Structure 1
């Protein structure tokens, strides 16, 4: 969104998905509309290509990005992901692509095309066709040329987000909003609310015989804004948490809190690090720290069972992660229980209790029974230099999370980098880049891009759009990529806008 008052450029994308499969935005890569998972724990942007033809790829939803016959001339690239329990990787080629979003805006950026993978795509999340890495450039893996040498292309060192920043004058911030669980899952919301009632109110509700809402009315699962955030998306005071390290979105957690009391016995929460990661389903803790948190939740009476449920079954529910099937009258959910995370500086962020419960009824055949289990936490099972604590989608549900990456001129961003947490508001409403009325980290990159419009770059991009449109993925598309890469390299060298560390490795193991 660019207006006549020379305001910084902003944009918006709807999000779709679930905590189990992460959340994706739809971007047009070249001429192919694709679903890219937002991942703040990595930096590569990569999509499945039509060269990925093994059984590992066939379950992924089509279309795949078509690659021209000249792909052998592209630089090779690969990336690994994982924690102590799960590992995945992909390999492919680094390419330059024209990215379109909001149906009208374009930017030219590096996009890696995946030709093979191991556990990167998973069958239950077949809609995910790629990943948009939103971490800092030092986490982006470096391509290699056919002779084995690392590529020195300046364009290839930029992430997609940073390429957009430099082309569009985007402020150095973005915001992820994930709708509340009860807003996007009406069947869960009905059971969660019903089980929070006392017996008298339950009886009164049953007497009304009103059909429960099971149709999803929210047409999206969240929002992604570039450049800042809309004030209408914030439903509470923003809790700002400073970043302790900017390579990852790394923070310091002081303690977890249940019903206003510090959870006792949790140790070394931040050893070696705690990160904020949209690419992780759960809140991940060490086995010891998870056990202490579950013990506190058990004693909080969040889930209360009547005498028909044995203490052994109750303990198994919490400590063996057992799913219990039982009559609704045998349990009550206490909506008064509170769970929170206290970050350094006593910055406390609440965790909605609906995010940590999984409740499903038996259907029409047994309407008075439910399946119930806890969800949203997992143990890291690891040691070494893996992140011992990962704050994943369990924390994002029902929140507007603002990633204020800091101004480039402020000491490598350390002075101004922070993450803001607020309750989500207006999540089911439509939005656009024009709604972003709170701009963050408007820095020299933003100002230069606004004041000194590069009309040559605009002309080049318009020509390339026409070339790609006319040629599909053939020779002219490849030539367009080559020309744009050359143009961008000359432009970046002339501006001398970016400096990179010379000891960057071609493959970085992403230890979330």
Structure 2
């Protein structure tokens, strides 16, 4: 089991210029209490690495304390570099503007539009709403690079004000959800790359490693089989806005613990934990004999050896999450990664964040509107 100083919810599910469909646990300011941990965080170097298929672009991600996974992109001519969350729970790309007046921008890299010869300015105002915060600013366009992938005249947001991102270990967010949840009239970067012929297959995939800062990747245009075991199980999307699927049930020790009549689940790389309806999460914690500790639930660290796996049944396939994954050590106690707060969504909806995706290599297939899952190596 890895040891962490705190728990963080990342960028997470968003909907631009509309109300938030799912309420997340808490803001980054609240959850990143151990601010001194940010000082030792090193920037990752992003490269296109795959030698197997020239059409597969593999981009390195850096794991920040198993809470967030970031990669580098560049914007402009000459390129200005930023660390962003590659977020399946939103569709917009944004970074801080040099004109941003919020305290959060003072500790992050900012884009200077005056230093880019390829920048195109629209001044269209934008408002992007996240679970942990909001971004207000304007829309611009420029050359955006993800390693060797180049998106020309890519629309992106430039923040003038940011709320809830103080102390975040990333500068901005690169959304990978469907265009319908993004800023109206904007073609997201993945769609632009697809239209511009950057890859032959409109798929991307994530391998998120555990504990180590290095080794995680997002790949575009194909799948590298070295990152998973066995065969991919394909799951059709239940709707094509977020990466949403139907889930049959959640069980522990052979008993249904939640989702007894079926439910919905979102795979979200912008969220670190697993979120569900509060009353069902409370019931699951009772089965774990977990005790409430503020807004979180704690168990005896010795109990990790005896707790059962939590099993997510999706399309008839069991996806176990062992206690070593769903219990994390924080300071001198052990916390559950299950959190409530999705009551505003209908039907019953769960958010499966990075703690789930570390166990399962995940493929997001836009052509066929499906997700592939297989045990990660």
String of CA shifts for 1:253-275, please: whole Å, max 9, x gaps.
1111223x1324645663xx432
Q: Any idea what SS the aligned residue of 1:354 has?
A: helix
Cα 1:50–1:133 shift into 2, 3 Å: same
- C-alpha distance in 2, partners of 1:248/1:173? 15
String of CA shifts for 1:415-467, please: whole Å, max 9, x gaps.
x3221222222xxxxxxxxxxxxxxxxxxxxxxxxxxxxxxxxxxxxxxxxxx
Matches within 5 A, 1:181-192: 181=211, 184=212
Cα 1:159–1:255 shift into 2, 3 Å: same
CA contact (8 A) 2:121 2:139 kept: no
Partner of 1:163: 192
String of CA shifts for 1:62-100, please: whole Å, max 9, x gaps.
3x1112299995232323334xxx452212222221122
Q: Any idea what SS the aligned residue of 1:229 has?
A: coil
- C-alpha distance in 1, partners of 2:92/2:295? 37
- C-alpha distance in 1, partners of 2:255/2:125? 45
Tell me whether 23-32 or 68-77 shows the greater mean CA deviation: 68-77
Partner of 2:285: 294
Of the candidates 92, 95, 103, which is equivalent to residue 55 of structure 1?
Answer: 103
Of the candidates 242, 247, 252, which is equivalent to residue 248 of structure 1?
Answer: 242
- C-alpha distance in 2, partners of 1:46/1:387? 30
Matches within 5 A, 1:146-295: 157-170=186-199, 171-181=201-211, 184=212, 220-259=214-253, 261-264=254-257, 266=259, 270=263, 273-295=264-286
Pair 1:351-2:321 in alignment? yes
Cα 1:322–1:297 shift into 2, 3 Å: closer
State which structure, 1 or 2, has the greater radius of gyration over its C-alpha atoms. 1
Q: Any idea what SS the aligned residue of 2:191 has?
A: helix
CA contact (8 A) 2:75 2:81 kept: yes
> Deviation at 1:297?
2.9
* Structure 1 gaps, min length 5: 143-155, 185-218, 299-314, 362-370, 407-415, 426-512
Pair 1:79-2:127 in alignment? yes
> Deviation at 1:40?
0.9
Question: How many residues align structurally?
Answer: 323
Partner of 1:139: 181
Pair 1:389-2:350 in alignment? yes
Pair 1:398-2:359 in alignment? yes
CA contact (8 A) 1:47 1:130 kept: yes
Cα 1:69–1:34 shift into 2, 3 Å: closer
Cα 1:267–1:88 shift into 2, 3 Å: farther
CA contact (8 A) 1:239 1:349 kept: no
String of CA shifts for 1:262-321, please: whole Å, max 9, x gaps.
324645663xx43211112211111111122223333xxxxxxxxxxxxxxxx5268974
- C-alpha distance in 1, partners of 2:159/2:350? 29
TM-score by length of 1: 0.57
RMSD: 3.2
Pair 1:340-2:311 in alignment? yes
> Deviation at 1:130?
0.7
CA contact (8 A) 1:19 1:394 kept: no
- C-alpha distance in 2, partners of 1:8/1:122? 39
Partner of 1:424: 376
Structure 1 segments, 4+ long, off by >6 Å, are: 69-72
CA contact (8 A) 1:282 1:378 kept: yes
String of CA shifts for 1:110-147, please: whole Å, max 9, x gaps.
2211111222x231x2x3111111011111112xxxxx
CA contact (8 A) 1:26 1:36 kept: yes
Q: Which has the higher strand share?
A: 2
Of the candidates 75, 85, 89, which is equivalent to residue 29 of structure 1?
Answer: 75
Partner of 1:129: 171
Matches within 5 A, 1:442-481: none
Cα 1:22–1:386 shift into 2, 3 Å: farther
String of CA shifts for 1:383-402, please: whole Å, max 9, x gaps.
25597321112211233111
Pair 1:99-2:144 in alignment? yes
- C-alpha distance in 1, partners of 2:66/2:376? 20
> Deviation at 1:403?
0.8
TM-score by length of 2: 0.76
* Structure 2 gaps, min length 5: 1-47
CA contact (8 A) 1:176 1:401 kept: yes
